[in-house]
Structures are given as C-alpha cells and as structure tokens.
C-alpha cells in the first residue's frame, strides 16, 4: 500500500513537468527518461521478476513500431487504432517466442541467445520485405493533429508516454502484490521447487513474457509516432535490446522503482558525456558498457539497492533476536 502511495506521488510530481518546464529541450529529456523507464520496466517484468534474461526485446519493440507505421502508411489506418494493434502484435510475437523457448525448457544463456536470434531474424525480415520499406525504412508523413497521434507541441507526447509508463509501473506494482507475482518470483528463484508446490511454471512465464512484450510494443508505438521514421536497425537492432536490459539492471532488478532510477541515471550519464566528450559516434555505448560492468561488480542490486542501503527498512526487531536460540 505504501508503495502505491509512493508510486502515485512520483507520477504526480513527474506530471507537473509540462506545467513548470517551458524549454522544449528539457521536456524532451523528461519524455525520453519516461520512455526509457517504460522500456526498462517492460524488460523488468520478465527479467527482473521472472528471471528470464532476454537479449532480444527489440523483437517486441520493433513489432509495435512497425505495426503502427505500416498500418498507417500502407493501409491508412489511424495510429490510435495502430497503438492497440501494435500492443497486441507485440504481445503475440512475445507469446510465440515464449512458447518456442519455454515449451522446451530453455533457461539462462540459452534463452538469452534464442531471444537475440529472434530479434535478428525479424531485423533481417523487415530489411527484405517490401511493405516495411525494407532497408530504406518507413517514413510516417507529417500531419500534426491530436486525432492523428502527432502533436504540435511536446506536451501531447508527454501525456501519452506518461500514461503508458504509469500503466507499466501500476502493472508491476500489481505483480508485487498478487498470486501471479508470487508464483513468478518463485519460478525465478527456483523453478523446480516452485513446480513441486504446484506452480504452473510454463503458464506463469508465458504470462510474464506477454505482459513484457505488450509494454515493449507500446514503447515501440510511441517511438514511431514521436520520431516518424523507422528502419530495420532502429526497430529491431540490438541497441533497443541493450537499453531495455541496461535500465533495470542499473536501476535494480525485480524492484518497482528500479527502472525509473535506472532511466534517470543512464540519461544523466549520457547527457554528461555529451557535454564532456561531444557527440562522438558510439561513445554512449562504450560508456554504457563501462557502467554495466561497474554495476554488476559493485552494485548488483542497482540504484534501488543503493537507496535501500542508505535508508534501510526498519527491520522487525524480534526477527533477529530469536535466531541465536535455534543455532
């Protein structure tokens, strides 16, 4: 309950941004932080709570993005409908990949490699079929109106990403409080023990990958409408997969607020490097790599773990006192 109040407060404060920030540049930064938090939270559902490390979340992101773009450009379908279709398509792709991997009990690095492979297959496919614009990419024609999911000001986009991200965070809050979440974490921590207690590990993992795919797909839809251009490398390339997993790992795996902390931290770092080093191509990936190594070595619980260490939960006093008696 306390977490829900905190979640409400945090999003209320973030919601003040369009009222107090007048600079488009700064508002864009807030939008990109929310977008990164959405990507990260999507990955966190499967990776952080489910323990299934995917290296191919671009598969869902790209599917969401391409769905809304192709429906618009090739069939003239309204992007708000495309938003729904993009989410659903991403979820279906996730269901397919989940079925193909979990059915055969792939875990750990095998699961990671297969998801990476699926994303690459989709990248190559989208590079060769005509309706995605192949290697040239697909350009969504500029036609600014709210009915068309293209806003003249950044504020409109802000509210869309705010709602999407809030939905993802609220879902994860629910996961932390539900039977589904308890079973998902049990599968993460010990699949055999969970199954012995009657947890249907396959179903639980399918649920997690589909939720995860849904929110990644929504992030993809948002990206397509915000930047109005996609190509196979943007949509299905490894950069998105890496960002998806880096955000929650830096922020704190399997925690509600980890992805938000991670998104803020990573954006601060990338802005700082841009200031210091300039726009050297690839430099942000180098910095990300270094950050990842440092986090894994020194802060395996991420920024959320650091926050916990600085302000520890008041431990129930009787819990420790009695352990000695049984030792």
Interacting residues toward another protein by CB under 8 A: 177-179, 182-183, 185-186, 189-190, 192-201, 315-316, 318-320, 322-323, 326-327
Complex with another protein: residue 2 or 326, whichever CB lies closer: 326
Q: At what angle do helices 179-189 and 154-176 cross, to 10 degrees?
A: 80
Q: Is the dihedral of CA 266, 267, 273, 279 positive or negative?
A: positive
- CB 252, min distance to another protein, A: 13
CB-nearer residue toward another protein: 130 or 324 = 324
Q: Is the CB of residue 236 less than 8 Å from the CB of residue 134?
A: no
Residue 181: CB minimum distance to another protein, A: 8
Nearest residue to 73 (alpha-carbon basis) of 162, 128, 136, 27: 136
For the bound state, the minimum distance from the C-beta of residue 213 to another protein, rounded and expressed in Å, comes to 24
CB 136 within 8 Å of CB 234: no
Residue 189 or 271 with smaller CB distance to another protein? 189
CB crowding 94-124: b at 16 or more within 10 Å, else e:
beebbeebbeeebeeeebbebbbebbbebbe
Can you say whether the dihedral through the CA atoms of 94, 140, 240, 128 is positive or negative? positive
Closest to another protein by CB, 2 or 179: 179
Euclidean distance between CA atoms 41 and 309, whole angstroms: 22
- Residues 6 or more apart from 199 whose CB is under 8 A from it? 183, 186, 187
**Smallest gap from residue 245 Cβ to another protein (A):** 19
Name the residue nearer to another protein (CB basis): 201 or 240.
Answer: 201
CB of 258 to another protein, least distance (A): 14
Please state whether 299 falls in left (phi above 0), alpha (psi between -120 and 50) or beta.
Answer: beta
Residue among 24 and 189 whose Cβ is closer to another protein: 189
Smallest distance from another protein to CB 244, Å: 23
Q: Between 228 and 299, name the residue whose CB sits nearer to another protein.
A: 299
Residues in the chain: 327
Instruction: Give the shortest CB-50-to-another protein separation in angstroms.
Output: 13
Count other C-beta atoms under 10 Å from residue 243's C-beta. 24
């Amino acid at each position: 309950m306390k977490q829900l109040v905190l979640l409400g407060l945090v999003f209320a404060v973030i919601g003040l941004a369009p009222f107090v920030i007048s600079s488009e540049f700064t508002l864009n930064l807030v939008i990109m932080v929310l977008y990164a938090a959405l990507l990260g939270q999507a990955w966190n559902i499967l990776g952080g709570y489910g323990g299934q490390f995917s290296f191919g979340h671009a598969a869902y992101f790209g599917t969401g993005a391409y769905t809304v773009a192709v429906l618009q450009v090739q069939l003239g379908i309204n992007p708000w409908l495309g938003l729904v279709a993009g989410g659903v398509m991403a979820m279906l792709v996730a269901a397919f990949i989940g079925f193909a991997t979990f059915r055969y009990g792939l875990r750990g690095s095998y699961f990671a490699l297969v998801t990476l492979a699926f994303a690459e297959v989709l990248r190559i496919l989208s590079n060769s079929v005509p309706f995605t614009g192949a290697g040239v990419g697909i350009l969504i024609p500029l036609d600014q109106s709210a009915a068309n999911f293209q806003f003249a000001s950044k504020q409109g986009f802000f509210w869309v990403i705010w709602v999407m991200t809030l939905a993802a965070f609220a879902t994860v809050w629910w996961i932390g409080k539900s039977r589904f979440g308890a079973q998902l974490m049990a599968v993460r921590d010990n699949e055999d023990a969970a199954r012995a207690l009657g947890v249907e590990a396959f179903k639980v993992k399918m649920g997690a990958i589909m939720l995860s795919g849904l929110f990644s797909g929504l992030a993809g839809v948002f990206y397509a409408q915000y930047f109005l251009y996609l190509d196979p490398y943007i949509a299905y390339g490894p950069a998105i997969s890496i960002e998806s997993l880096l955000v929650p790992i830096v922020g704190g795996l399997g925690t509600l607020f980890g992805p938000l902390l991670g998104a803020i931290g990573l954006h601060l770092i990338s802005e700082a490097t841009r200031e210091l080093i300039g726009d050297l191509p690839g430099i942000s990936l180098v910095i990300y790599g270094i950050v990842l190594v440092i986090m894994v070595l020194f802060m395996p619980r991420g920024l959320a773990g650091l926050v916990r260490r600085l302000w520890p939960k008041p431990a129930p006093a009787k819990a420790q006192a009695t352990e000695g008696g049984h030792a």
